[in-house]
Amino acid sequence: MPVLKLVMIGDVVGESGIAVLEKLLPALIEKEGVDFVVVNGENAAAGFGITEAEKTRILNAGADLITTGNHVWEKREFWPVLDQDERILRPANYPGKPAGRGWRVIRKNDVPWLVINLQGREQMTPIDCPFKAFDSIIDSQGALVTEFLPLLTTEGLTPDILQKFGAVVVVDFHAESTKEKEALGFYLDGRASVVAGTHTHVQTADERVLKQGTAYITDLGMTGVTGGVIGMDTKVCLDRARTQVLYRMNCADPSPGQAPELQGILAEIDRETGKAISIRRLRDS
């Protein structure tokens, strides 16, 4: 049984996060024989948003595609890049027609990887429904069909067809609510190869393969300084929590007890069916 290996890396936070990604990801790819890498980069620019410089460094470190979330809009000067560079996504379920795209098919070594970026609504700014957004993307009448035209005859694009042609469907669900994340995982079980949550910066210990063959984890964690508060300076976060004054947050500095870490998952996927075989957490410094 031919097996594909996918690495997904949790939110890269600031300079320390990018530096540890550059240090560890290339060796991880080589050691594990990784076929495809997805990195969430929405916090790469000093904790808030992403710029051309961080995007380039993440891709050069070995990412095949960058996903994001609500902070992708922080740097307005980066919005045109979302339109120009197909290697970076923003959540697909923003209403209207904002800059960028929410999904992308990348063919690598003759394997079509369909990556979909979605954002949650519970305890976050309400946007369009992520459940319906996934269905719309997969809809056989949608624009996605054109990406698979070389693979299709007249059958249209359905989950069965995606599996038939070995398409690996990967979802980054950028959401606050554990309940919403788990609900989407079960909703997509058997239709997505991997559903991984991002946004909270706290790696969860619930990685598993669901009954219909979807690898799931509530949150990948973060790639950055783990000794702070979700990658940010501890004192500032304490001051904000104690006083409710919105002091400007800064990334935590590496120091003894605050070494930056790379966090994420490695999933194995059956090349012939697109079903997940295994999933394990990654955590290294």
33 CB contacts (<8 Å, ≥6 apart)? 5
The yes-or-no verdict on residue 262 having pLDDT over 90 is: yes
Q: How much is the pLDDT for 196?
A: 98
Residue 152 confidence class, pLDDT cut points 50, 70, 90: very low
- CA–CA separation, 7 vs 32, rounded Å? 10
* Residue owning tokens 């590496």: 254
- Two tokens at 187? 């909703």
What number of CA atoms fall less than 13 Å from residue 249's CA on the CB side?
A: 21
Task: Identify the bridge partners of residue 264 per DSSP, sorted by sequence position.
Answer: 9, 282
HSE at residue 233, side-chain half, CA atoms within 13 A, is 11
Structure tokens at 15: 């300079």
Neighbours of 25 (CB within 10 A): 25
Angle at 100 between CA 97 and CA 105, to 5 degrees: 115
Among the ranges given (37-46, 229-238, 265-274), the one the predictor scored with the smallest mean pLDDT = 229-238
Share the mean pLDDT of the chain.
87
Which pLDDT score is estimated for 162? 55
Q: Residue 243, exposed/middle/buried by CB under 10 A (0-12, 13-18, 19+)? A: exposed
SS3 18: helix
Catalytic residue among 71, 174, 199, 201: 71
For residue 64, the model assigns a pLDDT of: 98
Has residue 58 got a pLDDT over 70?
yes
pLDDT > 70 in the chain, percent: 86
Question: pLDDT value at position 156?
Answer: 45
Q: Which range among 102-116, 144-158, 194-208, 221-235 has the greatest average pLDDT?
A: 194-208
- pLDDT-above-90 percentage for the chain: 63
Question: Between helices 178-187 and 130-138, what is the axis angle to 10°?
Answer: 30
- Three-state DSSP class for residue 276: strand
Q: Given this model, what pLDDT does residue 232 score?
A: 66
- pLDDT tens, position by position, 222-248: 998 887 877 767 777 676 778 888 767
- Gap between the Cα atoms of 57 and 239, Å rounded: 33
Collapsed DSSP state (helix, strand, coil) of residue 137 = helix
**Residue 77 and residue 124: Cα distance in Å, rounded?**
24
Binned at pLDDT 50, 70 and 90, residue 98 comes out as very high
8 Å CB contact between 8 and 265: yes
CA distances from 247 to 42, 59, 234, 243, 250 (A): 21, 32, 12, 10, 9
Which residues face 108 on adjacent strands? 111
Q: What is the mean pLDDT of residues 159-169?
A: 61
pLDDT at 1 over 70: no
What pLDDT is stored for residue 148 in this prediction?
53
| Three-state DSSP class for residue 226 | coil
pTM for the model stands at 0.89
Q: Is 174 a catalytic residue?
A: no
Tell me, which fold does domain 3-284 have in CATH? Purple Acid Phosphatase; chain A, domain 2 (3.60.21)
Q: Which amino acid is at 131?
A: F
Q: Residue 142 above 50 pLDDT?
A: no
Q: Assign 16 to helix, strand or coil.
A: helix
